[in-house]
Structure 1
Amino acid sequence: MPEVFEHWFMLMGSSVPQSLDLRELEIGYRTFFETRSAPVDMGRGEHLHELFENLEAGSSEALQRYLAEAESDYDFALQKFLYDDFSTPRFLADRKLLGQAPRLAKLLSRSLQSQVAKHFSSPEIRQILGYPAVFLGTSPDRAPALYQLMSHLDLTQGVKYPMGGFAAVADAMGALAANHGADIRLGARALSIETSSGARPRVAGVRWTDSTGAEQFTAADAVIGAADAQHLDAELLPPKLQTHSARKFSRRDPGPGAVLVCLGVKGELPQLEHHNLLFTADWKDNFSRIAEGRSLAPETSIYVCKPSATDPSVAPAGNENLFILVPSPALVHWGYGGPDGTGDAPVEQVADAAIDQLARWTEIPDLRSRIEVRQSIGPADFAALYGAYQGGALGLAHTLSQSAMLRPSNRSRHVSGLYYAGATVRPGIGVPMCLISGELAAKSVEGITRPGPLETPSIFVRPEAAL
């Protein structure tokens, strides 16, 4: 979603080219299929249409129609859904929205899986177009068909990489915020959100400890909490003031957990591109194991990133940096990861299986023996480090009942001046969506209720109002 990043940097008086060194990947990602001997590389334009024709004769025209629909849906969502916190019912009176109601009803009542199947019969194409649901915290059979818009993002807009990784994005954002007067305190931990008394309590400030452990208090008339909303309420507010209570969240779908495996590998791995996907044939079993909290099969669908394909700063010369993401049940009792295989047994079993599967499928038989650095991360790490609900890796799943206005709110119901941002609230999962959620919170602080993105430089009108 490049326009979301560009909009954010423009709000801060800069631009993406000024602040980041972006590299567009010629091959968006390489896909390995359990039932196909050779991988396929996902590019754009004519290359993409040729690839689809090779996978299914006559599918190029269907792809053109599908991507046109995906682009239209994305533009509509950007205009009508993503930059609206639905704090007022005025969206129901939007003529354009009402005009699209019949089409929206179809897209929301049908699954992404069935939407893709309507256009294509190739199992490989169905997997390519259906897997983006995983990055929405759900599965193709549970994500609404509206999320076909994801294919516009990767197959039309393409895939870009910020040199230095996402740490470079965070650093650039932090520097710009500081230039505009933000006081960034690292190593701090919030202890409580203090409120005034009365029938409708109001934010009074935040009690917190600094990097030395000394307790501090910062007075504020507005507070934005960007942590997991349920964790934030449970840790910082008394039960009667919690909007996102444990009872309410018990009915929520936390989305998948993940076992992450970070590897430093000796020597080069030309078999892999920057982004790689490994798809098992039996998706029904694959996704049901995750949704039902069962053990994963020895071979499961995984994502593998090799940033050293693009960025020489992430590994010593001639060596590789690998990041393996294995979607798994959101189960804290699976435990923690650790260095060099020392994590809890359930996590390390998944990590070992993923390393061996990657070696087999990509024909790197000596992969395990070439690992110089290994660090695993499990669901318990997500819960302990980030307060992630049930140890989920991404945020609440984008099912129908957890999308748009049905997603948890960005505003506290019980405390005036308290707002929420992040992957558990509107509009949803992913770094671009979290940037938008921060903007929704900023609009609320400023009293801006109209839908749509902020106009520069309204975010700076009252900088003293927010903590």
Structure 2
Amino acid sequence: MSGAQGTAAVIGAGIAGLATSALLAREGWEVTVYEARAQVGGRAGSWESDGFRFDTGPSWYLMPEVFDHFFRLLGTSAAQELDLVTLDPAYRVYQEPDDANGSAPIDIRSGRDLSTALFESIEPGAGKVLGTYLDSARDAYDLAVGRFLYDTYESTAGLRDPQLLRRLPQLAPLLTSKLERHVERRFDTPVLRQILGYPAVFLGGSPDRVPSLYHLMSHLDLADGVLYPRGGLYEVIRAVERVARAQGVLIRTGAPVAGIDTDGRGGRTRASGLTLADGTHVDADLVVSSADLHFTETELLPRHLQTYPEKWWHSRTPSPGAVLLMLGVDGALPELAHHTLLFSADWRTNFDDIFGADPRLPDPASLYVCKPSATDDSVAPAGSENLFVLVPVPADPALGRGGIDGAGSPAIEAAADRAIAQIASWCDIPDLAERIRVRRTIAPGDFEHDFHAWRGNSLGLAHTLRQSAMFRPGNASKKVEGLMYAGASTLPGIGLPMCLISAELIVKRLRSDHSPGPLPEPSVV
């Protein structure tokens, strides 16, 4: 059946591009992926040094049913492709100490009973309130998956469904109020508010800027559970690449794209292929760009064919930037769990430093630490620990670039030093800095240079109300037929699961499938 639909060229071999190529090949397209870098994975990359293997991007495996659905569309399953383990605790929380002696950690264990018991132990009465909160989060999550995330919004049929219209009185307040206020009305203790509000960062926003509908995220970590694929999140990229190649997809690395070719014959402008940076022209009946949407629109297309020209981006909000640290550390670090969050006391100022009118590097920052070596002995030498640290910062490539062994821009390395000192102090690891033997930093300047990320953002377009669901950029050009988009700045949004769904939306558009839910899975014989 290969090639029965025609030829397809996919720009970018991140998870969205790889997933799109696999699904298109399954549909009968002859697919070639063109990736500028030597390694597939895009922002979800991998880096090795001195026996340590680091994920350089996403490190949380959430929404497992989305991964499993994607693999089942291709005749396999997440269980067959990945070695998944459940994390316990799901994550650990440290609060900013009020002295130099560190603070006692709080372990978050997934499961309704465990979560409600924890909340009750911290704030009397909060356990019962959390139970109701999690009921609402589960309902919102099911609604999002069944009605919003898999909708191409080519038609309003899904939004006009009577079952959904009956939900409007409950849904409207969740769309028009902010997550921060939604949480504050229910809980008084600052750390509980932070636990429920911090998932906004994984959506590219802050609790006072994303709609309260996104309280659905708490269903994932507090009730549903947090998984980890042994070998790291890059194993997900390897698995998606593997199923793509099994479908006959050709992946060309070291092949940057310089332009999207079009044909105006017949009075219609259609995508006709690509021009590579070396001047080679590639013919294609369908072009899908999973590269950064701003780069695709403003650099790969002429102005008159841009659906989202530069002016459109002036009023849009990027996700935060990030200073990432990859640290190989000698000796054990029992103070840190697989996932650890450090929450600053001045929560609002922290987010204003990142998203406000006068952006700056937050100090101290609310930061995230991943220690995959807590679960996986393949990511660090024996007797050592692997640390990945994420410090949310403003989306601004002028902050500088990272480097190896302190060779990055001075402001970036200084921010990394502060993060290391903060972890050492708050988590009571006074000799942390002296035990580091591998160090690399990545910064907003790297996101811009390596991935053409708009304003050096780390995740994509933030999930504000006007950048969610039907208000988010669609998966097809409005000016060029046969040109489609996948990835974190298009429908449905940020994160590995969302990128898998964006790939599925390409297939739904090609099938003229306007249903709001996922594609039916093939029968298992």
Query: TM-score by structure 2 length?
Result: 0.84
Contact kept, 8 Å, 2:203 with 2:462, in 1: the verdict is yes
1:451 aligned partner: 516
The reply to whether residue 90 of structure 1 matches residue 157 of structure 2 is yes
Q: Hey, what's the Cα distance between the residues in 2 that align with 1:388 and 1:436?
A: 20
Q: Hey, what's the Cα distance between the residues in 1 that align with 2:367 and 2:131?
A: 28
Q: Aligned AA for 1:387?
A: H
1:235 aligned partner: 299
Percent sequence identity is 50
1:415 aligned partner: 480
Contact kept, 8 Å, 2:327 with 2:440, in 1: the verdict is yes
| Farther-moved stretch of structure 1 (17-26 vs 237-246) | 237-246
Contact kept, 8 Å, 2:157 with 2:514, in 1: the verdict is no
**What do residues 338-361 of structure 1 show as CA deviations (whole Å, max 9, x unaligned)?**
111111112111111100000000
The reply to whether residue 330 of structure 1 matches residue 398 of structure 2 is no
2:73 aligned partner: 11
The Cα RMSD (Å) is 1.4
Q: 1:250 aligns with which of 297, 302, 314?
A: 314
Q: Aligned AA for 2:354?
A: I
Q: Hey, what's the Cα distance between the residues in 2 that align with 1:297 and 1:416?
A: 44
Q: Hey, what's the Cα distance between the residues in 2 that align with 1:412 and 1:392?
A: 23
2:337 aligned partner: 273
Q: 1:40 aligns with which of 81, 106, 109?
A: 106
Tell me: CA distance 1:201–1:457, structure 2 relative to 1, closer, same or farther (3 Å). farther
1:72 aligned partner: 139
2:269 aligned partner: 201
Q: Aligned AA for 2:339?
A: H
Q: CA deviation at 1:457?
A: 4.6
Q: 1:130 aligns with which of 189, 192, 197?
A: 197
1:299 aligned partner: 364
Q: CA deviation at 1:200?
A: 2.8
Q: Aligned AA for 1:33?
A: Q
Aligned ranges 1:83-122 → 2 under 5 Å: 83-122=150-189
Q: Hey, what's the Cα distance between the residues in 2 that align with 1:191 and 1:412?
A: 18
2:85 aligned partner: 23
| Farther-moved stretch of structure 1 (196-205 vs 323-332) | 196-205
Q: CA deviation at 1:456?
A: 3.1
Contact kept, 8 Å, 2:331 with 2:435, in 1: the verdict is yes
Q: Hey, what's the Cα distance between the residues in 2 that align with 1:397 and 1:158?
A: 24
1:462 aligned partner: none
**What do residues 257-309 of structure 1 show as CA deviations (whole Å, max 9, x unaligned)?**
11111101111111100000000111111000101253234311000000111
Structure 1: runs of 5 or more not aligned: 459-467
| Farther-moved stretch of structure 1 (86-95 vs 433-442) | 86-95
**What do residues 75-104 of structure 1 show as CA deviations (whole Å, max 9, x unaligned)?**
001111000011112233211111111111
**What do residues 193-234 of structure 1 show as CA deviations (whole Å, max 9, x unaligned)?**
11111543001112225xxxx553332221111111111122
**What do residues 146-203 of structure 1 show as CA deviations (whole Å, max 9, x unaligned)?**
0000000111111100111121111111111111111122222112111111543001
Q: Hey, what's the Cα distance between the residues in 2 that align with 1:333 and 1:406?
A: 29
Q: Hey, what's the Cα distance between the residues in 1 that align with 2:514 and 2:286?
A: 16
1:262 aligned partner: 326
Between the two proteins, the alignment pairs up a number of residues equal to 454
Q: SS at the partner of 1:31?
A: strand
Q: SS at the partner of 1:119?
A: coil
Q: SS at the partner of 1:195?
A: strand
2:213 aligned partner: 146
Aligned ranges 1:154-165 → 2 under 5 Å: 154-165=221-232
Q: Hey, what's the Cα distance between the residues in 2 that align with 1:25 and 1:202?
A: 48
**What do residues 394-451 of structure 1 show as CA deviations (whole Å, max 9, x unaligned)?**
1111111111101111110100011101111111111101110111112223332322
Contact kept, 8 Å, 1:200 with 1:414, in 2: the verdict is no
Q: Hey, what's the Cα distance between the residues in 1 that align with 2:115 and 2:264?
A: 61
Q: SS at the partner of 1:91?
A: coil
Contact kept, 8 Å, 1:222 with 1:445, in 2: the verdict is no
Q: CA deviation at 1:35?
A: 4.7
Query: TM-score by structure 1 length?
Result: 0.95
Q: Aligned AA for 1:206?
A: L
2:376 aligned partner: 311
Q: SS at the partner of 1:312?
A: coil
Contact kept, 8 Å, 1:254 with 1:330, in 2: the verdict is yes
Tell me: CA distance 1:180–1:457, structure 2 relative to 1, closer, same or farther (3 Å). farther
Q: SS at the partner of 1:326?
A: strand
Q: Aligned AA for 1:208?
A: L
Tell me: CA distance 1:144–1:342, structure 2 relative to 1, closer, same or farther (3 Å). same
1:463 aligned partner: none
Q: SS at the partner of 1:207?
A: strand
